[in-house]
A and B are shown apart, each in its own frame.
Chain A
Amino acid sequence: MAQRWLLPALLLVGFGLAFAIPEYNLLNKYVQLVMMYVGINIILTVSLNLVNGYMGEFSLAHAGFMAVGAYTAALLTQKVLPVAAYPGLFPLAVLAGGLMAAVLGLIVAVPSFKVRGDYLAIITLAFLMIVKSVIENIDTIGGPRGIPGIKKLTTLPWVFFWTVFSIWVVRNFVYSKYGRGVLSIREDEIASDLMSVNTRRVKFLAFMVSSFFAGIAGALFAHLLQFISPRVFDIIKTTDVLIMVYLGGIASIGGSILGATVYTVLLELLRPSTVAAMLAWLPAVVFDPLNEYFIRHLGVWRMVIMPLLLVLVMLYWPRGIMGLREFRWFIPKRDLEAHHRQPAHGGNHGVAHGH
């Protein structure tokens, strides 16, 4: 099959571009920035999908894990690691952020042994609020004022690397016995336990992987925005990620990538400056009134349009764009063949039922 070399080749080209774009300014700075946000949002979405989509819980804690990763990494690059002299130390800080978040993920996993559904949702919400409140009350890390002046260490190649890595790891996890355990917990936890799945271990792992990548994303985010404060990681941030997860579709890596990309890019496209730039070719007679009455006001109205779009998507596509389905390329060949050794039934149109 052509796919065997296609994927590595695409990755190589992607990496090449990720280095070349900032080096030779192939795209303007703004587009580069948006690309990095897309990458970070993909990491957040794919990782949250593990708990909310594959496992079927409703975690609201993602922004909390993100905050832990962001603060850990930012404090390391600000105060501990000599990144100015050795920029190569930055990945260590990011990794530390991820690990710290993973440790906290383990703590959040414990209540999930006992509590499920809406009650677990509340516990994760409480966790998020506690993290925020703790940060606000520690003055040495800036308290409510946050940390300003973080070095801009997040670059396009790093975002590209971590995005690919998170997708790869989450995909590997999903197509392993632990990932199938996660799915079986969503379907029927008692039956899962009775089919020998160690549900506690599986939950530990799922929360750990999920929060690890939330921490990574937080670390990258901090060194891109160059400023963090507890307010950056509030419930609204979690809501953003939730929207991307369910817009793209639950239990789907391809869906998460789509959801994060569509949502992020659309929000940027609706910016007045972007729309004005895109329509600048119009003659002034048309453009000026358009700008006067419509484009200039988009700054406020785009946040009205976006949730409306979300509601419309949900009404016509209740499972999201790719709910419970997966692009063929994310499914290991072994799994695909095992499912379809016999002639496949029904049209698949390049999209296969993953599970």
Chain B
Amino acid sequence: MSEGIVYWLQQTLNALQLGSIYALIALGYTMVYGILTMINFAHGDVFMIGAFFCFLAAVYLGLPFAPTLLLTMLGAALLGVAIERLAYKPLRHAPRVSAIITALGVGIFLENFTLALAPYPKNIPALLENITWDLGGVSLSSLQVIIILLSLGLMFVLDYVVHRTPVGMAMRAISWDKTFVPLMGVPLDLIISITFAIGAGLAGAAGTMYALAYPVIDPYMGIMVGWKAFISAVVGGIGNIRGAMIGAFILGGVEIMVTAFFPSTYRDFVAFTLLMLLILVRPYGILGKPRTQKV
């Protein structure tokens, strides 16, 4: 293969890896937004806690990859539900911005609580034997394959749950109308809890994979990744699950490609400029529908 194509393939692979992690987190943002029209700014920190759960399970419990992943997802899901019950539920009828600020507060709490317990960055041991294949110049690691396939698998499962199961139907119904749908026997609180559990569980999975791919973790790692994932959700059309996945891969792609062609310090500049332009051209995202205001 020519050098150019090899280079492109390599970058595409990297973009897919970054994009899958963004996508798993973006799904949580978009699902919660879809149901509560609330931006859950603590979500990036749930991702960070996921990475730390992974650390605990791998180092203190000495678990291998699969149980670590499951335990992390479970732990993150419980955390997500607890946050919703304790901090957001009482504010469901308060001004929207109160819930957003509460979410910011919860996020800062999670960051500094973790910092208080773990003042120094932690190293994640290699849970998987990392084999690197050389495919005509393109290097492909088993870790990359696992991250991409696992993320895609989780996304397909989620897409199936949301579009093909009764729980998913209830979720979609509630995101459509929160006043009358519960009157038809849909348990509002339960569905909201399930939404948070799924979203946080996926963030936990993202945390594990991120920790495996970039094995030094610290309490503030969730801030930037969280914002990027949130941006992915917006780019795709916030509230739209498939949009969040597409947005995440676009953002991952843009970031990797910018770093490939410009000095890496330009990454944020180009990524955010593109984001700004996109929102100005399509304010409702790629798959979102414009909301018409009735006069």
Nearest A residue to B115 via CB reads A300
Chain B, interface size category, equals: 35 or more
**B56 contacts the other chain (Cβ, under 8 Å)?**
no
- For chain A residues 103-128, which have a beta carbon within 8 Å of chain B? 111, 114-115, 118-119, 121-123, 125-127
Looking across the interface, which residue of chain A has its beta carbon closest to that of B38? A118
**Is there an interface contact between B238 and A118, defined as CB atoms closer than 8 Å?**
yes
A88 at the interface (CB under 8 A from B): no
22 A-B pairs with CB atoms under 8 Å apart are A115-B283, A118-B33, A118-B39, A122-B279, A125-B231, A129-B268, A129-B272, A133-B272, A137-B263, A250-B97, A300-B112, A300-B119, A301-B116, A303-B108, A304-B116, A310-B104, A311-B106, A314-B98, A315-B102, A318-B94, A318-B95, A319-B95
Determine if B265 and A315 form an interchain contact, defined as CB atoms under 8 angstroms apart: no
B62 to chain A, nearest CB (A): 28
The reply to whether B97 and A307 contact each other, CB–CB distance below 8 Å, is no
CB distance from A185 to the nearest CB of B (A): 14
Q: How far is the CA of A123 from the CA of B101 in the complex (A)?
A: 18
Measured CB to CB, the closest approach of chain A to B278, in angstroms, equals 10
Query: A311 with B234: in contact, given A114-B283, A115-B279 (CB under 8 Å)?
Result: no
Measured between beta carbons, the chain A residues less than 8 angstroms from B87 are 311, 315
Residue of A nearest to B223 (CB): A235
Chain A 294-321 near chain B by CB (<8 Å), digits 1 or 0: 0001001101101110110011001100
7 closest residue pairs by CB, A with B:
A318-B94, A133-B269, A307-B109, A303-B112, A318-B98, A310-B105, A307-B108
A172 CB–B CB distance under 8 Å: no
* Cβ of B35 to closest chain A Cβ, rounded Å: 15
Given A315-B91, A315-B102, verify A126-B295 contact (CB < 8 Å).
no
B265 to chain A, nearest CB (A): 5
Determine if B109 and A314 form an interchain contact, defined as CB atoms under 8 angstroms apart. Answer: no
Q: Determine whether the beta carbon of B112 is less than 8 Å from that of A246.
A: no
In the bound complex, residues from chain A placing their C-beta under 8 Å from that of B230 are 122
Does A62 interact with chain B (Cβ within 8 Å)? no
CB distance from A262 to the nearest CB of B (A): 15
| A125-B266 contact given A111-B280, A118-B238, A315-B87, CB 8 Å threshold | no
Q: Residues 231-259 of chain A: 1 if any B CB is under 8 Å from the residue's CB, otherwise 0?
A: 00001100100110010001000000000
Q: Is B90 an interface residue (CB 8 A)?
A: yes
| Smallest beta-carbon distance A192→chain B, Å | 12
Contact A122 B90 (CB under 8 A): no
Point out the residues of chain B lying under 8 angstroms from A52, CB to CB: 97
> B272 touching A311 by the CB < 8 A rule?
no
Q: A130: CB under 8 A from chain B?
A: yes
Interface residue? A58 (CB, 8 A): yes
Report chain A residues within 8 Å CB of B119: 300
What is the distance, in angstroms, from B281's C-beta to the closest C-beta of chain A? 10
* Nearest A residue to B291, CB-CB: A117
* Complex Cα gap A279–B269 (Å): 49
Shortest distance in angstroms between A266's beta carbon and chain B's nearest beta carbon? 14
Q: Kindly list chain B residues whose C-beta atoms are within 8 Å of the C-beta of A122.
A: 230-231, 234, 275, 279
Q: Does A134 contact B (CB under 8 A)?
A: yes
Asked if A190 is at the interface (CB within 8 A of a chain B CB), the reply is: yes
Tell me the nearest residue of chain B to A312, going by C-beta: B105
Q: Do residues A314 and B234 form an inter-chain contact, with CB atoms below 8 A?
A: no
Task: Tell me which residues across on chain A come within 8 A of B100, comparing CB atoms.
Answer: 58
A115 near B265: Cβ-Cβ < 8 Å: no
A310 to B265, CA, bound (A): 35
Chain A nearest Cβ from B89, distance in angstroms = 10
Which of A58, A310, A314 counts the most chain B CB atoms within 10 A?
A314
Residue of B nearest to A303 (CB): B112
Q: Which residues of the partner chain B approach A190 to less than 8 Å between Cβ atoms?
A: 293, 295
Q: How far is the CB of B2 from chain A (nearest CB, A)?
A: 32
B113 interface residue per 8 A CB criterion: yes
Q: Is A136 in contact with chain B by the CB < 8 A criterion?
A: yes
Complex contacts, A304 vs chain B, CB 8 Å: 109, 112-113, 116
Which B residues from 215 to 264 make CB contacts under 8 A with A? 223, 227, 230-231, 234, 238, 263
